[in-house]
Every structure is written in C-alpha cells, then in structure tokens.
Amino acid sequence: MNKNEIKRLPRLTAILTQLQTKRLLTASELALKFSVSNRTIYRDIKALEQSGVPILTEEGKGYSLMEGYRIPPIMFSESEANALITAEQLVLKNKDASFVKEYTEAIGKIKSVLRSNTKDKANLLSNRIVFGQNDDFVRTSNYLSTLQLALTNFNLVKINYYSPNNNQTTKRTVEPFAIYTTQESWLLIAYCRLRNDFRAFRLDRIESLTVLSLTFEPHKITFEEYFDISKKKCLPPLT
C-alpha cells in the first residue's frame, strides 16, 4: 500500500461517517470539508461503493446511505472523548430537566464504546471539570426534548403560557420554528396562531404543554431571516 492510499483510508472512513450523520451530502460539500477536489470525492465514493457500501446517488442533489445501513460503533480518540465529557459537564448545569436526562443517557451509550484506557481517563476528567453556573442544579423547565421532537416533526403544540408583564396565563396554539438558549433559560421561537405572528416563549414560563397530532407546513424562512424581520419590526424578544 503506497503513501497516498494510507492517507486516503482515514478520509474514506470520515466520508462514511459524514454520510451516516447527514441525510444528503453533495460532492462539493465533502470536497470543501476534506480540502480535496470534487474529482477526488467522486473516486472516493466509487471506492466505497466497490467495497460494498450501499451509497445512493440522487442526480443534482448528492449522496446518501441506503436506509437501515449502519457502520460499526466509532472508536473515539482521547481528545474527542474529552470534548464529549466537557460538554456533559456543561449539560449537567442546564436548567431543562428533559435535556439533562436525554444527554446523560446518550453520553452513557457513547462511553460504552470507548476503549478501557480512554474510558478511565474520561471518567477521571469528568470528576475534574467544574462549571460555576447553576451550582444548585435548579431545573426550571422540562419541555425541551418534547419541543425538539415537535419541531422536527412539524407538530402543532398547545401551551398555557404565563406572562409576568400582565400576570396572566393565555392559551396558545403554536408552530415550533427554532430553539435557542441564553445563560438564563431556553426559548422557543414559534408562529403563534393567537397573535398571527412569530413570538419567543421562555420554556420556564410554559405552565403546561400538549403536542397535537396535527401538523403544519414547514416555514420557509431561515433562523437568520427571522432575526432580521424581528429587528425591522422592533419586536420585543418575548411575548
């Protein structure tokens, strides 16, 4: 095996990982990520196909893996494991209980595939990293995981939302659009059918939440366009 082939193997593995991570990737995206030409990516895709990897090609759109195909668990490097452990400690300080629960279960599965030596070092690191925020581990919301699913499946959500400005709780039917976080709390950006416009809702002010089986048409604007529109309208960030 020559030097070029040796260098190529890690890239082929990385391309396969990328294909498993995302539903559809173009040759240009892969070429940019790995700093090679499109022609090199074409050759790499052909090599993966010849090795038995079921890659589907959609003309004009890109590449994807056949539904149901999975590669064996990835072996993380020590640095990658450390990054995950560091993120875990940040998550444990998070104020949304559902997010903490889901991430803790996910990181447990990741730790299970670590090599013994790497696992021991990761466990040591988890006991030696401390973040000062939210030291009392107060959870002020428990809806993030539910809203993430509603957002990605385009489900309508009914909420009872408390507004401290007028000390009232209103019933809203909303179309989840995006989620972002500040140091203090998580916020849901959604199209509110009561106000007939986009609004931001603090998760810790949602008193109750129900995900409906009814769906809505995906919104055409991007998150960046939403912020631009909000600035032009001079809308307050919360409602």
pTM flag (> 0.85): no
pLDDT band at residue 84 under the 50/70/90 scheme? confident
Q: Which residue has the higher pLDDT, 3 or 132?
A: 132
Helix %, strand %, coil % of the chain (to 5): 45, 25, 30
**132 within domain boundaries:** no
**33 within domain boundaries:** yes
**133 within domain boundaries:** no
Per-residue pLDDT, 71: 63
Q: Are residues 95 and 49 in the same domain?
A: no
Mean pLDDT of 92-115: 81
Residues 6+ apart with CB under 8 A from 18: 25, 30, 33
Give the residue among 70, 41, 68, 66 at the shortest CA–CA distance from 56. Answer: 66
**The domain boundary residue, chosen from 18, 39, 65:** 65
Number of domain units in the chain: 3
Distance CA 48, CA 8 (A): 12
Helix (DSSP H) and strand (DSSP E) numbers for the chain: 8, 7
**The domain boundary residue, chosen from 65, 92, 116:** 65
pLDDT band at residue 22 under the 50/70/90 scheme? confident
Q: Are residues 12 and 49 in the same domain?
A: yes
Per-residue pLDDT, 95: 83
Q: Are residues 26 and 54 in the same domain?
A: yes
Q: Could you give phi then psi for residue 60, rounded to 5 degrees? A: 80, -5
Residue ranges making up the domain that contains 34:
3-65
**53 within domain boundaries:** yes
Q: Are 145 and 98 in contact (CB under 8 A)?
A: yes
CATH number of the domain bearing residue 166? 2.30.30.530
SS3 178: strand
The predicted-structure confidence for 41-54, as pLDDT tens digits, reads as follows: 999 999 888 888 88
Q: Are residues 173 and 229 in the same domain?
A: yes
Q: Which of 80-84, 139-143, 232-236 has the lowest mean pLDDT?
A: 232-236
**12 within domain boundaries:** yes
pLDDT band at residue 91 under the 50/70/90 scheme? confident
**73 within domain boundaries:** no
Distance CA 142, CA 96 (A): 5
Place of tokens 């109750």: 208
The predicted-structure confidence for 156-187, as pLDDT tens digits, reads as follows: 999 999 998 889 999 999 999 999 887 667 89
**135 within domain boundaries:** no
Q: Are residues 47 and 83 in the same domain?
A: no
Give the residue among 151, 153, 148 at the shortest CA–CA distance from 96. Answer: 148
**201 within domain boundaries:** yes
147's tokens: 């809203």
Distance CA 158, CA 174 (A): 6
Q: Are residues 59 and 83 in the same domain?
A: no
pLDDT band at residue 2 under the 50/70/90 scheme? very low
